[in-house]
Structure 1
C-alpha cells in the first residue's frame, strides 16, 4: 500500500457520523472543517481544549467524556484518531479497518487508510494538496504549495477565468490610497477577472499595468462630455459595458463611499437593473496619515477624528460642513481635497476658536514612492502650501496627533533651495 500514491477524493459528510478520538490540538484544528462539512461529529475524549469544549457547549459536536472503547466506530463514515495513547490508537485503527471506515491517524500516517490534505479556500473553491511521494511526505511543503495557490487565487496573480455564462454586473472596487499592495484581496481578484476597468485618476495605477492585453481600460478622468457631465458619462459607460455581458470593475481611489460618489453609481446601476458588488477600500483619511507616522487617534491626545471634504471653501454657499462646530472640537480633523482651500479653512477654524498654533501636516502622494510630508500650523499652513508647492492629492491632518509620532517617523518641513 505504501508504494502507491493516495487517491484524492472529496467526502460528502452531511448528516453522516464522524468520530474524533482525542480532544487536543489536532482535534481543535480539524474539527471546524468537519463541522462546516455538515458531519454529525462525535468527540470521544476524557478531556478537551477550551476551544473544543466551546464547540461542544455550542452544540456543534457531541462530546462523550471518556476513552475510546471497542465498537465506537460502528456505523461511522470517517474517523480521526488523535489521542496520546498509542495502544488505543492502534486498536481504533484496526477497528476502522474491519468496519471499512476511512481513518486518519495523527500519530502514524503509514497505518492510516486516509490522509488529510493541506486545504485552503477561495471564493467557493477548495484547494487540497497531497504529496505523491509516499516515502518522503513533507507536510510543510504541501502546506506551502497550498498557501501559494490560495494566495494567488485571492490576490489575482493566479487567474482562473470563469467560462460559464455570467450575469452582467459591475463591481465598485475601492483601490486604497495609492500603493498597489493596499488594495483588498477581493478587489485585486475581481480586477484580475475583469473584461473592462473604468479607473479613477487617484486609483492604484500600477495595477492597471498587470492586466491582460484583452482588458479594456477606460480612464474616467478623460470620459467625454466635460467635467459637469463626467459622472453621468461614467454611469452610462458602466451600464453599457455591463449590458454587453462583460465583467466591469469601477476602480476608485480609497473607499467607494468616502467622497467617491459610489452611491451615485450604485443608484444608476440599480435603476438600469444592473447588479452591483461593492468592495470597500482602505480610505486615505486614515491610511495616509498612518503611512506618514501620524495616528488619527492617540490615548490622552485625541479620542475622536472627523473627516471632511475641503473641495469647497467654508464661505462657499455649497458647503455642507459646519466649520464653526468643527473648530470647537478637540480631536483630530482630517481634510480631503482641500489643498487649494486650506488657507481659508485655517482662517475659519482660528476665527471660531481653534488655536493658531494647532499643528498641521500635509501628506502628498501618500503611500506611494513620491510620498512627501510637510508640517505647519494653522497660522502658517496657507503660506507653507505656497512656498513648499504642495500639490494634490494630499491629505491634511489638523490636531495634536501630528506631533505624537516618534522622531524617526516625523518629517520636518523640507527646506527649499534659494
Structure 2
C-alpha cells in the first residue's frame, strides 16, 4: 500500500509517523505541499491510502471544495449544498433511518465520491495533529467517507499521547482520542481557574522524555511527583469526556501559555473562539487579542477567493484587497459573522471589535522577515501582536 508524506521531517510528528510506515512495510512517497491537488497532483498520481496533515491544510481543501460549490448553478448547486448540509450533524457510526440512509447514498454517489476521487480515490484515513481541527471540518470530511483522526502529543512525549482510532467506538469528534497503550493521563484541576473538570494535562509513561539537555532547572519546572509517579506537565488545558467501553476521550480546550487575561481579571481561551470563526468560509485566519484590555477583539485575515465570490454575488465592485478590507459592505458582512457566532460564547469571550488584515500569515517569507506561523502552521502570537501593534492599538483607542 502507498502513503504520502509531505510534512517536515525535522519535526517529530512526521518523523514518528514514518517509523510506523516502515514498521507496516508500506511504500512512502515524499513530496511538498505545492503540488498536492489537481488532476496531475501528487494525491492523484500516488493514490495513497493514508497521510498525515495539519488542520490548516484540511481547511484549505474544504475552502476549495466550498468555492467550487459556489461556482455551480441551478440544480447542481442545490444538490451540492444539500449534500453538504447532511454533514452538519454527522456522527461516527451514526444509525440512520431507511429514508436518511437513502439520502446519504444519493449524496455519496453524486457528490462525496468526487471529493474522494480528488484525494486519489483510495484514502482510508487521514491523521491530523499539531493544532486543533474545527469540528465542522471533521464532520464534512468524515461524512464524505474521508476518515480524519485527530491525535495529540508533544515533542517531549515522543510524541504521541492519545489518538482516535478506526475501531468501533474509537472516535469521538471534537476530542484527540484516548491514551495509547502504556500512557497514563490525569487532569490537574488545581492548576488554575478553568471550566468544570478542566485543568492542565499531566502525562506519565515510557515515551516521556528524561529531561531537557543540560537544563536541569527547566526540566524540574515541567515535572511533578504525584502518588509516587513522575508526571510531565504538558502546558495544555483539557478535560476527559466518557466514551464507549469505558474509554476516557481527551478534549483539549487551550494552551496554558496562550490564555489571555482581560483587565477585569477574567481568563479567556482564544483557541476555541478562533476555531469556530475559522469554520466560516470568509475567514482565512483569525487571532483573538485582549490581554489586559477591557474586552476581547480579533485580527481577521479574509479568505480572498471567497470574498471575491461574495462581492460578485452582492454586486460589490472588486478593486484590491487593500481597499476591500475597509469597504463598508465588506466590514458589515464580517460584523454579521461575528454577531451570528458571538452568542455561542460567554459574554467575556465575545468579540467586541475587529480589524481586517490584508496579508495572509505564512510560515516562511521570501524576504526572510519573521514569519507569523510555525512550520506546523500554528499562530506565533507574540510575532503577530508585534507586527500588528498599530492595528491593535487602534481597536482599543
TM-score, reference length from structure 1: 0.26
Specify which structure has the higher proportion of helix. Answer: 2
Structure showing greater Rg: 1
